[in-house]
Amino acid sequence: MSYPGLRSTRLVKGLLMPAILLILTLICLCLTACLTTPESDADLGPTVMALATENSALAVENATLIAEQPTIAVTNPSPSRTAPEIETEVRPTATLLPTATPAATVLPTDAPASIPVCQPDNGWLPYIVQPGDTLFAIARRVGSSVEELKNGNCLGDASRIDVGQQLTLPALPPTAAAPTAMPTIPTETAAPTIHSFTLVSDEMVGEVRRVTLSWDTSGGQARLQELTRHRFFQWLDVPASGTHTFELRGTVYEDPPISLSVLPAGNSDEGVHQIIYLSWACEHSYFFGYVPERCARGPSATTLAGQQDFENGRMLWLSDLDEIFVLYGNGDWKKYDNRWQEGDPPDDPEIQPPPGLFQPIRGFGDVWRNQNQYDAVRERLGWGVAPEQSYTATYQHSIAESAGQNILYLTLQDGVTVYQLAGYDVGQGSWSILAAND
């Protein structure tokens, strides 16, 4: 007699044990995979598959053994006391399909993070780092970012840039405005000063006058000038202190000065000056008391002279020079050569002066009548207010350094009044009166 409940229990137990063994095998494989880092997925694969295949075969073998065990059939006892008949029932072998073993999951190990490759943009423009530049400032000026500039210039994590370093930028920064120049605060400099200026010696050596001076200055360029002449004087820049000797040959001016100047740098119009006057009289004295600016060219002289006064001026003649001087009432004068000779007509009978007035004669008349040739002298002077008179005149010339500077000094008929005619060497100029003993 067979017991179905007993057979079911045995069947369950026979299937449960292989399943448990399979689960334990998988757990061991997972623990082994976690504790051991395989060199590669290819090396792990065969090991896992071999273990899975072995366990699967073991499970199938156990299931087969359980299935082959004989089934005992138990029959109900009959009323008679006959011993029970035991029937042996052989069941066909149960074929169990192998349980699919799940593939072991191999967790990948941590791989290093990938580093972005520096790829400069060929379309960017070169730029030289200027003083004060930073990546942040440059990025703002060109509309970019610090990271973009670092990647585009292969700077990595470095953010420092150096003056003169070449970068490439997506655009060039706008030109910076030139910094406003700060006003220059003038520094205080020492004022030009003359501490001393001394005449050391003054002596004649033959025809040369040797004058030695010493000085001490500060605050500028020192300059010496000897003014024995105005046109050809000597001047020289000298050290702030020292000595110098001038060698002088005559003077145009009585008691000529020698000056020391201290001029500030870059400005020759300002400075300080000091003068030493040499005691040096002119070689020739003037015949009148007034001392003109320049020395006389030679001694004074006397000569026969003529004088005639006119409505608007005066005529003078000096025999030694044989020249006629026409002085106009406006202060101008002009010189003419005396062309009249003995035997020439002394006057023009057809010219009749008004009552009380006079026609000039001889040399004066020749200049006065030939007005077309002689600058309209007749019209400018008018008629003579008195006849011509002769007298003895004293005259003298001054030294001239250049054209127009020669002055002729001469006396009038009264012997007291002295005329000075400036510009004698050029034949015309201006005239003025000096009183004798002025």
pLDDT in tens, 42-86: 444 444 444 444 544 544 454 444 444 444 443 444 444 444 444
pLDDT at position 148: 86
This prediction has a pTM of 0.54
The domains of the chain, with CATH numbers, are 4-89 (no CATH), 125-169 (3.10.350.10), 193-277 (2.60.40.10), 301-435 (no CATH)
Other beta carbons less than 10 A from residue 63's beta carbon? 21
pLDDT at position 296: 94
Rg (CA), the chain: 70
User: What residues does 411 pair with on adjacent strands?
Assistant: 418
* Secondary structure of 161-199 in HEC code, one letter for each residue: CCCCCEEEECCCCCCCCCCCCCCCCCCCCCCCEEEEEEE
pLDDT band for position 402 (50/70/90)? confident
In this structure, which amino acid lies at residue 28?
A: C
Instruction: Choose the most confident range, by mean pLDDT, from 63-77, 181-195, 359-373.
Output: 359-373
pLDDT at position 385: 97
Q: Is residue 296 within 8 Å of 287, Cβ to Cβ?
A: no
Q: Is residue 400 within 8 Å of 298, Cβ to Cβ?
A: no
In this structure, which amino acid lies at residue 90?
A: V
Other beta carbons less than 10 A from residue 172's beta carbon? 12
Higher pLDDT, 306 or 161: 306
> Coil, strand or helix: which one is 255?
coil
Separation in Å, CA 393 to CA 47, 80, 396, 410, 421: 155, 214, 10, 7, 14
DSSP of 195-247, one letter per residue? Answer: EEEEEEEEEEETTEEEEEEEEEEESSEEEEEE-S-SSS-EEEEE-SEEEEEEE
> Coil, strand or helix: which one is 337?
strand
Please give the mean pLDDT across all residues of the chain. Answer: 78
Other beta carbons less than 10 A from residue 365's beta carbon? 24
Buried b (16+ CB within 10 A) or exposed e, 395-427: bbbbbbeeeebbbbbbbbbeeeebbbbbbbeee
Judged against a pLDDT cut of 60, whether residue 27 lies above it is answered with yes
pLDDT at position 142: 86
